[in-house]
Amino acid sequence: MLRKNYDSELAELNENVTRMGKLSEEAILSALKAVKGEDDNAKEHVDALAVEFDSKKREVENTCIRLILTQQPVASDLRFISAALKFATDLHRIGISSADIVDCVSGRKGVEIPNIVAEANEAAEMVSDSIKAFVEHNVDLARSVIARDDKVDALYQNAKASIINMITENPSNGSSALELMNVAKYLERIGDHVCNIAEWVIFAETGIHEDIPHGKGAKKTV
């Protein structure tokens, strides 16, 4: 009976982490649509997602702590539970950054900086693939997600250069440019969170925390 309950709780934990992954996908896609000027209701959507995000994060954390304290899991189960705690934190932060992006572009008819749109597209694809890697236990896909962070970083640097040029050409664009700079930074930060998730997918499957360098400076997001 105890083993049955343990297995049931592990299955529920897996479902809740997967649901958080789907929520993060929805959030970044809403942010992407907002960046492109394709969704006037993006703010309402991400605000609604935030409520479920908070609830699922608490459920995941409580389940992990309960399992560790009462079941003393070992080997692959312990790795999965440890990774789930990390997943929950990074997925939640992806949701927060997505909401911040929507706030920054609210009222715009789309972002006029092509590199920001490209950065948003790449970040959204990375989020989707990191969740797929978790669901499918796909270590190779997780590694490929980490490798793509360099592209997000390059797009971020290009976006910054474009925004600086925009201010130089017309200083009255300063306030608008600052919002765009924040959007680019939030997208770069999402890329870092996705890499953290991918690293923990690898750990959960292999037992090795590879801590693969990603991006210039290879600095982990905490």
pLDDT (0 to 100) of residue 217: 41
Core vs surface per residue 22-60: b (16+ CB within 10 A) or e: bbbbbbbbbbbbbbbeebeebbebbeebbeebeebbebb
pLDDT (0 to 100) of residue 212: 65
**2-206 CATH, one of 3.30.450.20, 1.20.58.220, 3.40.30.120, 3.30.470.20:** 1.20.58.220
Domain ranges for the chain: 2-206
For 5-36, the DSSP string reads: HHHHHHHHHHHHHHHHHHHHHHHHHHHHHHHH
Q: What is the pLDDT along the chain (222 residues), one digit of tens a residue?
A: 467 689 999 999 999 999 999 999 999 999 988 888 888 889 999 999 999 999 999 999 999 999 999 988 989 999 999 999 999 999 999 999 999 999 998 877 767 788 899 999 999 999 999 999 999 999 999 999 999 999 999 999 999 999 999 889 888 888 888 889 999 999 999 999 999 999 999 999 999 877 666 654 444 443
pLDDT (0 to 100) of residue 222: 36
pLDDT (0 to 100) of residue 2: 61
CA 115 to chain centre: 19
pLDDT (0 to 100) of residue 176: 85
Contacts of 13 (CB under 8 A, 6+ apart): 60, 63, 64, 67, 80, 81, 84
